[in-house]
């Protein structure tokens, strides 16, 4: 029987058209173009249904509400399709992929996010290949995880990050190998793919308050004290190298103390694209250790943010959330013992 894929179209460059103020998504435009693509009638292609979001969004406008909308759309159609493709803008695709990986526990089918750097309406567009290959991968059903297909590579969603604003190879997965490569043939790397789940459980997110704070030379943490309120649930601290921060006279310890009193979880990730935060390697990370932070190891900032949203949307206490942040839940973090 012919396979069936559900394509959830949320917006992004892939279906955008020029306007006086720059590219914008246009309702029905991509659906019309796809209906005219001869590729979709080829025998090796699955049948597809397109679910178009209203309004279609530039992904810079995506938030927790839209993540929930995508998760619910998959949940409601889960048993009707062999796999799912989510068409999405590239700007926040890695955040959405990370969020969906936590939201969709126990996946048995592929959920493949893709988009393009050049709109479908332009002659040199990369939309066609990204769309067709993502649909084929979703139909094959052999990658039961949330993943991101772009320019010839299938990456784990919560390991991916946007690298380039203008190259066609827009994404990379710096701390985890590709799940598949699409050259002349689509070659899967089964050893990198997560095992199939047994039953889907969907955990929608609450719009809790999360902050990302990037450390830089000369930072005065006192400036940020105002954001440390009881309402702030988590902070991702992007530290230097292996998790290092500037000297002790800049207000960091007071900030961490206030965060601790408020129950805010502080997660330390590295600013480096590759490698892992390892608090305690250098004396320059000792204040963090004393401040009771948790280590994000080799998680991307996108994954750490999404994981905080996920954990704070569950019925967990602070200690449980801190422990879970340092554990691998969906393939987002390499076991620190193995690093
Ligand atoms: N601004 C666009 C978006 O993220 C960029 C893209 O799709 O490539 O929606």
Rounded Cα–Cα distance for residues 96 and 15 (Å): 18
- Convert the pLDDT of each residue in 236-268 to its tens digit: 999 999 999 987 778 888 899 999 999 999 999
Distances from the Cα of 155 to the Cα of 6, 10, 32, 40, 160, angstroms: 20, 20, 29, 24, 6
* Banded pLDDT at 283 (limits 50, 70, 90): confident
- Convert the pLDDT of each residue in 26-83 to its tens digit: 999 999 999 999 999 999 999 999 999 999 999 999 999 999 999 999 999 999 999 9
CA neighbor of 246 nearest in space, from 280, 288, 301, 274: 288
**Exactly one of 10, 13, 92, 114 is catalytic; which is it?**
13
96 in catalytic set: no
Does residue 103 surpass a pLDDT of 80?
A: yes
Contacts of 329 (CB under 8 A, 6+ apart): 102, 307
- Convert the pLDDT of each residue in 295-330 to its tens digit: 999 999 999 999 999 999 998 999 999 999 999 999
Q: Which pLDDT score is estimated for 289?
A: 85
Residues of 64-103 as b/e, b for ≥16 C-beta within 10 angstroms? Answer: bebbbebbebbeeebeebbbbbbbbbbbbbbbbbbbbbbb
Rounded Cα–Cα distance for residues 113 and 14 (Å): 12
Q: Which pLDDT score is estimated for 292?
A: 87
| Locus of tokens 């879970």 | 324
Q: Which pLDDT score is estimated for 98?
A: 98
Q: Which pLDDT score is estimated for 17?
A: 96
Q: Which pLDDT score is estimated for 67?
A: 98
Residue nearest to atom 3 of ligand 1 (CA): 89
Q: Which pLDDT score is estimated for 286?
A: 85
* Banded pLDDT at 1 (limits 50, 70, 90): confident
Q: Which pLDDT score is estimated for 203?
A: 98
Parallel, antiparallel or unpaired: strands 16-17 and 24-25: antiparallel
Ligand 1, from 26, 59, 120: best to mutate by most atoms within 8 Å of Cβ? 59
Question: How many whole angstroms from 190 Cα to the centroid of ligand 1?
Answer: 30
DSSP reduced 3-state for 285: helix
Residue nearest to atom 7 of ligand 1 (CA): 89
Atom of ligand 1 nearest to the CA of 58: 9
Q: Could you tell me what percent of the chain has a pLDDT over 70?
A: 99
Once rounded to an integer, what is the mean pLDDT over residues 13-37?
Answer: 96
Once rounded to an integer, what is the mean pLDDT over residues 105-126?
Answer: 97
Residues with CB under 6 Å of ligand 1 are 11-13, 58-60, 89-91, 115, 117
Rounded Cα–Cα distance for residues 214 and 218 (Å): 12
* Banded pLDDT at 24 (limits 50, 70, 90): very high
| Of 101-110, 126-135, 277-286, the least confident | 277-286
Rounded Cα–Cα distance for residues 134 and 264 (Å): 38
Q: Could you tell me what percent of the chain has a pLDDT over 90?
A: 89
Once rounded to an integer, what is the mean pLDDT over residues 139-151?
Answer: 98
Does residue 139 surpass a pLDDT of 80?
A: yes
Does residue 212 surpass a pLDDT of 90?
A: yes
Rounded Cα–Cα distance for residues 109 and 138 (Å): 8
Q: Which pLDDT score is estimated for 247?
A: 78
Q: Which pLDDT score is estimated for 338?
A: 78
Ligand 1, from 14, 60, 89, 114: best to mutate by most atoms within 8 Å of Cβ? 89
């Amino acid at each position: 029987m012919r396979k069936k894929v559900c394509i959830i179209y949320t917006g992004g460059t892939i279906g955008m058209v020029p306007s006086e103020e720059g590219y914008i998504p246009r309702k029905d435009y991509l659906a019309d173009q796809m209906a005219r693509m001869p590729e979709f009638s080829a025998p090796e292609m699955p049948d597809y249904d397109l679910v178009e979001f209203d309004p279609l969004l530039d992904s810079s406008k995506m938030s927790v509400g839209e993540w929930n909308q995508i998760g619910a759309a998959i949940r409601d159609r889960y048993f009707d399709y062999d796999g799912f493709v989510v068409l999405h803008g590239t700007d926040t695709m890695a955040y959405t992929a990370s969020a969906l990986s936590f939201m969709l526990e126990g996946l048995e089918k592929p959920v493949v996010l893709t988009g393009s750097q050049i709109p479908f309406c332009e002659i040199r567009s990369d939309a066609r290949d990204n769309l067709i290959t993502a649909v084929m991968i979703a139909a094959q059903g052999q990658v039961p995880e949330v993943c991101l297909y772009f320019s010839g590579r299938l990456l784990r969603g919560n390991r991916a990050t946007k690298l380039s604003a203008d190259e066609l190879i827009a994404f990379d997965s710096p701390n985890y190998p590709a799940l598949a490569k699409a050259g002349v043939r689509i070659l899967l790397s089964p050893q990198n793919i997560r095992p199939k789940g047994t039953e889907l459980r969907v955990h929608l997110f609450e719009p809790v308050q999360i902050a990302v704070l990037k450390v830089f030379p000369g930072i005065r943490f006192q400036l940020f004290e105002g954001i440390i309120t009881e309402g702030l649930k988590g902070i991702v601290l992007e530290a230097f190298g292996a998790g290092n921060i500037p000297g002790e006279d800049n207000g960091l310890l007071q900030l961490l103390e206030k965060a601790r009193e408020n129950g805010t979880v502080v997660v330390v990730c590295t600013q480096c694209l590759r490698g892992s935060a390892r608090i305690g390697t250098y004396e320059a990370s000792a204040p963090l250790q004393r401040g009771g932070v948790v280590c994000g190891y080799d998680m991307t900032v996108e994954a750490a943010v999404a994981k905080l949203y996920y954990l704070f949307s569950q019925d967990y206490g602070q200690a449980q959330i801190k422990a879970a942040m340092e554990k691998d839940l969906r393939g987002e973090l390499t076991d620190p013992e193995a690093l």
